Amino acid sequence: MKYDIILCGVGGQGVLSVAALIGRAAAAEGLQVKQSEVHGMSQRGGAVMAHLRFADHPVASDLIPQAGADLILSMEPMESLRYVGYLAAEAALVTATEPFKNIPDYPELDTVLAAIRRLPHSLLVDAAKLADEAGNPVAVNTVMVGAASRLLPFRADTLEKVVREMFSAKGVKVVEMNLKALELGRRAYAASSHTCTA
């Protein structure tokens, strides 16, 4: 078994926290994990991208080749399109719908979302709304992990355990809000008319 993910977004959206969460879940299930990150002026809303690879055998490289990713998991729609060349033929793209307009010529959102919908296996998630519903507007990244969780080769309880561990220092209320965000993401995937099959 081998699974490769491109994680992306902009600085401040928790891309690397998502990578840590998924990487910990992979390790908890006994998988080998490698990760590589690119920080693009993250303090100024610049692009952030990580390659995350895990397998039941040693992973030779931390970089995913073009057309080699099983999943793109993005916190921002335009950033998701930046890395489409990494998707394997039957791979999935899961992205939050809310834009982070960090450039003056950000394309029309409808155009960006239409391009994502044309991909064979894509899912758009209104993650900001779900994070609000969970009681924590900054839990967009946890919502996105939940939305992608049915594509990940982990047990649901493994992800829940890692969420508890990662947020335990912030108190019970923060743990519970993130567990709810994870569950709302899962429900968004289940309720969608997605065509994700990876």
Distance separating alpha carbons of residues 78 and 182, to the nearest angstrom: 23
Which tokens is 112 given?
A: 């960006």
Q: Mean pLDDT throughout 103-112?
A: 94
Tell me what pLDDT residue 102 has.
Answer: 82
Length of the chain: 198
Residue 8's DSSP bridge partners are 49, 74
Angle at 103 between CA 102 and CA 107, to 5 degrees: 110
Q: Mean pLDDT lowest for which of 2-16, 39-53, 79-93?
A: 39-53
Tell me what pLDDT residue 196 has.
Answer: 53
Residues 152-170 pLDDT 10s: 999 999 999 999 999 999 9
Residue 189 carries which side chain, given as an amino acid letter? Y
Going by the DSSP 8-state scheme, the letter that residue 39 receives in this structure is E
Residue 128 contacts residue 96 (beta carbons within 8 Å): yes
pLDDT over 60 at 30, yes or no: yes
Tell me what pLDDT residue 12 has.
Answer: 83
pLDDT over 70 at 35, yes or no: yes
Helix/strand/coil percentages in the chain, nearest 5: 45, 25, 35
Residues 54-80 pLDDT 10s: 999 999 999 999 999 999 999 999 999
Distance separating alpha carbons of residues 5 and 19, to the nearest angstrom: 9
Burial class (CB in 10 A: 0-12, 13-18, 19+), 43: exposed
Residue 116 contacts residue 124 (beta carbons within 8 Å): yes
Tell me what pLDDT residue 96 has.
Answer: 98
Tell me what pLDDT residue 41 has.
Answer: 57
Going by the DSSP 8-state scheme, the letter that residue 66 receives in this structure is T
Which residue's structure tokens are 């307009």?
101
Residues 1-19 pLDDT 10s: 999 999 999 988 889 999 9
**Overall pTM surpassing 0.75 (yes/no):** yes
Tell me what pLDDT residue 109 has.
Answer: 96
pLDDT over 60 at 197, yes or no: no
Q: Where in 44-96 does DSSP place strands (E)? A: 47-55, 69-74, 87-96
Which pLDDT band holds residue 43 (cuts at 50, 70, 90)?
A: low
Which pLDDT band holds residue 198 (cuts at 50, 70, 90)?
A: very low
Q: Mean pLDDT throughout 98-126?
A: 94
